[in-house]
Amino acid sequence: MSITDEPSGDFYHGVWIADPFRWLEDLRNPGVIAWSRQQNADFMTFASSNLDVNGFRQTLTELARPAVPSQPIWRGRRYFLTKEASDDRPAELWVGGRDRGEQPVLNTPGFSHLRGKKLTMYQLSLDGSIAALQLADDDTEVSALYILDLLRDRILDGPVGGTRYSPVIWLSKLKRFLYVRTPAGIEQDSGNAVSGRRVYLREPRTPLELDVEVLGAGLSHPSRYSLTVSRDECWIVATHSPGPAAATTVCIARVPDQVQDFHWISVQTPRNAITTVFIGPDGLGYALTDGLHDSCGLYRFDLTKHVGTDRWETIIIGTQHAELRETTFVHDRRRGQDRILATWLANGAHRVTVHALDGAQFDTIPLPGFGTVSGIGVDPLDSSTAWFTYTDPSRPPQVFEYDVSSGALTPHGTTHRERTSLSSKRADAPSRYGNDIPMLLTMGRPTTGTVASPSERRALMSIYGGFGVTSTPHYSPTAIAWIEQGGLYVNVDPRGSGGYGRAWREAGLRVGKAAAVHDIIDVAEWLTQNEMVEPGRISLYGTSNGGLLACAASIQRPDLFSSVTAVAPLTDMLRYDRSAAGMSWRNEYGSSASPADFTALRQYSPYHNVVADVTYPPTLLIAFQQDTRVPAFHAYKLGGKLQSYGARPEDIHVLTLRGGHGARPFDDSLSLLSQVMAFASWADARKTEAVPGDRSSTSEPSKWSSPRPVFNDLRRPSSRRPRR
């Protein structure tokens, strides 16, 4: 089926914007389904003749196996973890103990009928006797909530719908649980942006209409909550935001003796800041926030008093060179004292320090190398031991046990033999706005014999760059496979990323997102000018927000890149917030309903900046059939326009795969990454075969140039050392 332009579009603030491929938004239309199937068939024909997918799959399989179990979560003498199957089966929840072997939680008569469902999330009561599982029947993230009594092998409640990624707290005193769902009668829009979500107190196995609404009335906009309970089960903390990585509001409540006695107290927190509040072992409130300084800090306050932030006590504060990312309370049995484990991002990698409750530092945990620490956790009823996962470019994720009293750090499980000796370092590229753009460069060490000379090197640039997410050194089979072929692997943190202070994060929001695209371009130019890559031998790879930035950068400067692979990308930024999860991302991107936002969105929106007869780099756009965050039509519309308007339509491919936006089975992940790697490798090889000096691609930036003065007030000295 051929694509034909349709006379469709919209007026935005008096400006007519054509939308010729809007017909591809109707994913249930037989014509769109036929178009998508034909695109898949065309790609498979192309791949069978040009791409070494099987070769990369074999390499990636060797690098990724065996699948590593998740970090254990301890409750008393038992621990829980997830294990990923080495095929297309979903991950399962397992339970083990100090005096028992491991077995699947659902491998019992009372739960066996739940096996085979996709586990999207699980949470545990403080003592581990109750588990809240969110299970889906298909490859989407739309799941139902089940409450399991693990001691009696019975289902207490479920399925409860409308609870996608709901936090759950079991309150043993009330024999009820707090959870979040969409009120009956409100459309869920099939995404994670659920309008008007509420916090309910529920008694198991009762009709939903008997749930007691305890928080959220009057909120009609998208609502995201987190719920935590103190270790003594006396206090509940509820945090609310309109979307991911958006400013939060916090309130607290004592756990009442009677259901009807819930009374919430608002906690005064910094305005327009992301703040997390939790209860310390001393019964005081602790706040982790970036709202009082450019760098994140930990503060203490009295829960029972309405004190302003000017009365908060500073405990730990980040610096220009090290940003505080996470804190965890632990207990030193030998000394009978509580401690704080603080995770920092410093010079591009994590480090963990040990502090007294007054913030005084007296130890640093000796990590294995320059890498990433994630998920520091403790048993809430016995916090004398902490568990975390560590990884770096040469080491697959490995679980470590930290004994607070002795300071001993013990690895658990085995890891793969190191496949390649790798070197990672932070670097900064100058931006057109006077800032430094941080990135992580990973390459083979010269002794391995795998590193090409700088004049021959190619690069795979991996991008996310939004919602406060930061790139840190980690084990990546994709990176190793690329590096072993003489490549350079680059992780870029453009403005909008986390880990480099509040100003850098906020500089990439809304109208600043156009400058984040320019950061990608400026990094590519810097790599070329410094002879780290040959001109035009940079392959872009991004997922979701990273796919948006990759597509936008390649359309503005197609001459810089050998290929683009965008997985579940946003591409139509004028209409992104009208479907699925888009409404909850307005804090990140803005909305075309705003004149200022419209100007910025139009400036970089990939779909709206495709120009006729330009030779765009080979592009692979991958969408997912059950994606409830970024609908497949984003990839379809950009692919259709590039194929119709671009000078080389045969280089533009659209591939639709099964599954949703989030985690996928091991086998599906291997297939996806194998296609990504094979496509980038093919395009790079073709680039080297081109006529030297051929610059058929335009080097002219997009006609919608960004006004520099908007961003000139944000500067990071080039001498600054970069600092989730």
What whole-number percentage of the chain has pLDDT above 70?
89
DSSP string, 153-185: TEEEEEEE-S-TT--EEEETTTTEEEEEEPPTT
What's the pLDDT score for residue 1?
34
Number of residues in the chain: 724
pLDDT at 517 over 60: yes
Q: How far apart are CA 241 and CA 360, in angstroms?
A: 32
Which amino acid type is present at position 383? S
Residue 589 has pLDDT above 70, yes or no: yes
Q: How many CB atoms lie within 10 A of CB 612?
A: 9
DSSP per-residue codes, 596-610: HHHHHHHHH-GGGG-
The number of helices, as runs of H, and strands, as runs of E, in the chain is 10, 38
pLDDT at 450: 46
- The model's pLDDT over 100-113, given as tens digits with 9 standing for 90+, comes to 889 999 999 999 99
Q: Could you read off the pLDDT of 328-359 as tens digits, one per residue?
A: 999 999 999 999 999 999 988 999 999 999 99
CA proximity to 224, closest of 262, 206, 197: 197
CA angle 37, 39, 45 (to 5 degrees): 105
pLDDT above 60: residue 684: yes
Across the range 162-166, mean pLDDT stands at 90
DSSP structural state of residue 668? H
Contact 654, 604 (CB under 8 A): no
Residue 256 class from Cβ within 10 Å (0-12 exposed, 13-18 middle, 19+ buried)? middle
Among candidate residues 578, 705, 704, the one with its CA nearest the CA of residue 10: 578
Place of tokens 């335009």: 698
Residue type, 716: R
How confident is the model at residue 441, as a pLDDT? Answer: 95
**Between 452 and 208, the higher pLDDT residue:** 208
Question: What is d(CA 67, CA 61) in angstroms, rounded to the nearest whole number?
Answer: 10
Q: What is the pLDDT of residue 88?
A: 67
Burial class (CB in 10 A: 0-12, 13-18, 19+), 42: middle
**CA-to-CA dists, residue 570 to 101, 222, 466, 664, angstroms:** 45, 19, 12, 20
Determine how β-strand 458-463 pairs with β-strand 487-492: parallel
Tell me the C-alpha to C-alpha distance, in Å, between residue 435 and each of 103, 428, 495, 498, 552.
52, 9, 10, 15, 20
User: DSSP string spanning 73-139?
Assistant: EEETTEEEEEE--SSSSPPEEEEEETTEEEEETT-STTTGGGTTSEEEEEEE-TTSSEEEEEEESSS
Lowest average pLDDT, out of 4-18, 567-581, 648-662, goes to: 4-18
- DSSP string across 675-721: HHHHHHHHHHHHHHTSPTT---S--PPPSS---GGGTTT----TTPP
Tokens standing for 18?
Answer: 């054509």
Q: What is the mean pLDDT of residues 51-74?
A: 90
Q: What is the mean pLDDT of residues 279-289?
A: 95
pLDDT on residue 587: 94
- Distance, in Å, from the CA atom of 660 to the CA atom of 544, rounded to the nearest integer, reads 12
Q: Using CA atoms, how far apart are residues 134 and 146, in angstroms rounded to an integer?
A: 6
Q: Which CATH superfamily is domain 35-63+443-710 in?
A: Alpha/Beta hydrolase fold, catalytic domain (3.40.50.1820)
Q: For residue 415, is pLDDT > 90?
A: no
Mean pLDDT of the residues in the chain: 88
With contact defined as beta carbons under 8 Å apart, do 277 and 252 qualify?
yes
The tokens for 48 are 């069978």
Instruction: Kindly report the three-state secondary structure assignment for every residue of 197-258.
Output: CEEEEECCCCCHHHCEEEECCCCCCECEEEEEECCCCCEEEEEEECCCCCCCEEEEEECCCC
Predicted local confidence at residue 216, as pLDDT: 86
The closest alpha carbon to 701, from 604, 600, 569, belongs to 604
Contact at 8 Å (CB) between 436 and 718?
yes
CB-CB contact of 90 with 117 (8 Å)? yes
Confidence of residue 452 (pLDDT cuts 50, 70, 90): low
Q: Assign 50 a pLDDT band (cuts: 50, 70, 90).
A: very high
Q: Which residues contact 444 (CB under 8 A, 6 or more apart)?
A: 420, 421, 422, 423, 450, 451, 483, 484, 486
Q: Is the pTM of this model over 0.95?
A: no
Could you tell me the residue ranges of all domains in the chain? 35-63+443-710, 268-415
Residues 289, 293, 298, 299, Cα dihedral to 10°: -100
Q: Which residues contact 205 (CB under 8 A, 6 or more apart)?
A: 156, 157
Question: Tokens representing 340?
Answer: 């704080």
What is the per-residue pLDDT across 229-265, written as a single tens digit (0 to 9) for each?
Answer: 999 999 999 999 988 888 899 999 999 988 878 889 9
Among 136-150, 452-466, 499-513, the range with the most confident prediction by mean pLDDT is 499-513
Structure token digits, residue 619: 């592009």
Q: What is the pLDDT of residues 634-658, one digit of tens each?
A: 999 999 999 999 999 999 999 999 8
Instruction: Give the mean pLDDT of 88-108.
Output: 88
Q: Which two tokens stand for residue 383?
A: 């916090």
CA 18 to chain CA centroid, nearest Å: 32
User: Which residue is associated with the tokens 């998508």?
Assistant: 36
Residue 714 scores a pLDDT above 60: no
Q: Is the pLDDT of residue 193 over 50?
A: no
Is 227 a residue whose pLDDT tops 70? Answer: yes
Cα–Cα distances in Å, from 556 out to 332, 523, 526, 561?
56, 14, 16, 11
Class of domain 268-415: mainly beta
Q: CA-CA distance, 533 to 492, in Å (whole number)?
A: 15
pLDDT (mean) for 313-339:
95
pLDDT at 618: 98
What is the DSSP secondary structure assignment for residue 11, as one 8-state letter? E
Band of the pLDDT at 449, cuts 50, 70, 90? very low
The pLDDT, as a whole number, for residue 701 is 38
Contact criterion met (CB below 8 Å) for 110 and 146: no
Q: Which residues of 523-553 are buried (b: 16+ CB within 10 A; e: fewer)?
A: bbbbbbeeebbbbbbbbbbbbbbbbbbbbbb
**Reduced DSSP (H G I as helix, E B as strand, rest coil) percent helix, strand, coil of the chain, to 5:** 25, 35, 45
